[in-house]
Amino acid sequence: MIEVIYYEEGVIDDPRTQLMLRRYPRATLIPCVHYKDVFNPSGQSFRLQKEKPALILAKQKGSLIHSVPSTYGIGGTRNFYFSHLLNCLYDCRYCFLQGMFPSAHYVLFVNFDDFKNEILRKTEESTDKPSWFFSGYDCDSLALEKITGFAGSFLPFFAKRPNARLELRTKSVNLKVLEESNPLPNVVTAFSFTPDELSSQLEHKVPSVSLRIRAMGKIARLGWPIGLRIDPLIDCRDFEGRYRELFKQLFSAIAPDSIHSVSLGTFRVPVSYFKKMENLYPEEPLFAGKFEKRGNSIGYRKEIEKERSDFCENELLNHIPREKLFQCKTTDEDSCA
């Protein structure tokens, strides 16, 4: 699966680097001084790289944990995100990563302990309010678990720190790491969904909706709190029928008590990302949708966005209490996808 590994010369002796190199003994190894020498140059084709991404092993320096606007939260007031990994195994046509990153290579930051120390520091800043840490902003938290060992390393860490909350956001069905651990009340596994008809058009390399629902049901029965992320909402033919059916499938697969939170998010990306995404896939029907520019973002026309969002909110409230429903709200100046 991984045929080329770039590594920062400074991380060659790191145990996690050594583990990777042992795991892929036949990979071509290419040293670099800084991961950005490979990842950042302009003029790379994200689309072509996506066919065979390389793995880049690096050390993340500087600020490792970043604040998240409170409007993106799922009930907490202290919200942070961190990125141990850049890029994703999957290839969702709506994903903002393809507009944000110059490269489709996976960058794995091997200095997990530095992330943990920073999480600990943030958590200890407040003893009365829990701190939420979102791990799936720049990647899928679990899809590359076999390579990264991320959850395997972080679950025991969070097990000892109940005031620190972790969201694993994923479209993966490979949940072995969760199945083999004791469920943790402070770790929410959040699954993103679009209706089946959209998933098959737009979510390339992603397991089918039914497989994901089955996998989600399995870990819910084991006691893991589940998050549902209806994000991004995609306008389409028979929108109401398709989303109503999706909700029916989701809520029949898991018991209400297992649901920690449900969030709704509209499709909204910065203009520059959208242009890049459109240039990468000029033949993609998604990008011919009824969009408009608002501030620095592009999203569905306001009336469509409101109508679709209101419909989903009302439908979801047939299944869950209001306190479990969260809107990923965006202003015209920021973005969320």
Partner 1 sequence: MNFVVALKAEAGPLIQRFKLSKQSSDPFPLFENDEHRLVLSGPGKELSAKAVKYLAERHPQPNQAWLNFGLAGHGTLEVGKAFLANRVLDDKERTFYPTQILRNNLRSTALMSHASPLSDYPEPIGYDMEASAFCANASRFSVRELIQVVKIVSDNPDHPVETFDRSSASTLIENSLSLILPFIAQLEQISQRVEPSTELIKLVESVLSLFPFSETQRHQVRKLLRHARTVGLSAKEAMDAANAGQSAKEALSCLQRKVDPHRELP
Give yes or no for residue 12 binding partner 1 (CB under 8 A). Answer: no
Q: Which residues contact 312 (CB under 8 A, 6 or more apart)?
A: 230, 233, 243, 247, 264
12 or 255, CB closer to partner 1? 12
Give the 3-state secondary structure of residue 266: strand
Single-letter code of the amino acid located at 92: C
Would you give the binding string for partner 1 spanning residues 43-82, x where CB under 8 A is met? xxx-xxx-xx-x----------------------------
Give yes or no for residue 38 binding partner 1 (CB under 8 A). Answer: yes
Give the 3-state secondary structure of residue 306: helix
Scanning the structure block, which residue is given the tokens 């209706």?
195
Give yes or no for residue 241 binding partner 1 (CB under 8 A). Answer: no
Q: What is the DSSP letter of 336?
A: B
6 or 106, CB closer to partner 1? 6
289 or 295, CB closer to partner 1? 289
**Exactly one of 1, 12, 37, 248 binds partner 1 (CB under 8 A); which one?**
37
Scanning the structure block, which residue is given the tokens 């790289």?
49
Beta bridge partners of residue 263, listed in sequence order: 229, 326
∠ Cα 80 204 223 (to 5°): 50
Site for partner 1 in 181-200 (CB under 8 A): 197-198
* 163/122 Cα distance (integer angstroms): 11
Give yes or no for residue 9 binding partner 1 (CB under 8 A). Answer: no
* 69/280 Cα distance (integer angstroms): 29
Give yes or no for residue 159 binding partner 1 (CB under 8 A). Answer: no
Site for partner 1 in 95-154 (CB under 8 A): none
* 263/329 Cα distance (integer angstroms): 10
* 256/275 Cα distance (integer angstroms): 40
**Exactly one of 204, 214, 290, 306 binds partner 1 (CB under 8 A); which one?**
290
Give yes or no for residue 19 binding partner 1 (CB under 8 A). Answer: no
**Exactly one of 156, 223, 241, 285 binds partner 1 (CB under 8 A); which one?**
285
**Exactly one of 9, 12, 41, 310 binds partner 1 (CB under 8 A); which one?**
41
Residue ranges binding partner 1 (CB under 8 A)? 3-4, 6, 28, 30-32, 37-38, 41, 43-45, 47-49, 51-52, 54, 197-198, 201, 234-237, 282-290
